[in-house]
Amino acid sequence: MWDSCIRRAAPAPAEQERDRGLGLVEVVIAVVLVGLAMIPLMLAALTTVEASSMRRTATRVETVLANAADRVNRAGESCAGYDVYVKAAALAEGWESSQASASYQYYVPASSPTVAGTWQEGTCPGAVRPDGLLQLVTITVTSPDGKVSRTMEVVKSDV
């Protein structure tokens, strides 16, 4: 009953032009623009993930390095070296023992107090550790992927 009473007027020609919707060209342009906006966002997200992963690896390397330095500091003075302590720090992280290494120098004082002494390669000047020996242990830790490497020097002395 009401349907017959209500008549809808046909839209005016100007309204017909506005109400056509979007054409294929407009849709394609919109998709391309959105895609162009998404590329930098995706690249930024990828860069963030990579940086986070690298920082996590660097943190693990620094943890192993600090652990190795602590183990060397706590070890008794020795002419045999401290490799076992350094490698144990890498193993404690679940890495191969080859990821951590140590090199050694010892200090040889000069004969005159006005002249500086020298550093010599090795753990000790002989098979027996002399009193007052000063050792420099250089610890190097490298991540399993080889991308991050850190070095720390530890001075050992019984003085």
Domain spans of the chain? Answer: 14-157
Series of mean pLDDT values for 10-residue runs along the chain (159 residues):
58 61 86 91 92 93 96 90 95 95 93 90 86 93 94 90
The pLDDT value recorded for residue 153 is 96
Angle between helices 24-74 and 83-92 (to 10 degrees): 140
The pLDDT value recorded for residue 17 is 61
The pLDDT value recorded for residue 128 is 81
The pLDDT value recorded for residue 132 is 86
Selection from 97, 102, 114 nearest residue 151 by Cα: 102
> What is the amino acid identity at position 78?
S
The pLDDT value recorded for residue 16 is 58
The pLDDT value recorded for residue 144 is 94
The rounded distance, in Å, linking the Cα atoms of 69 and 90 is 11
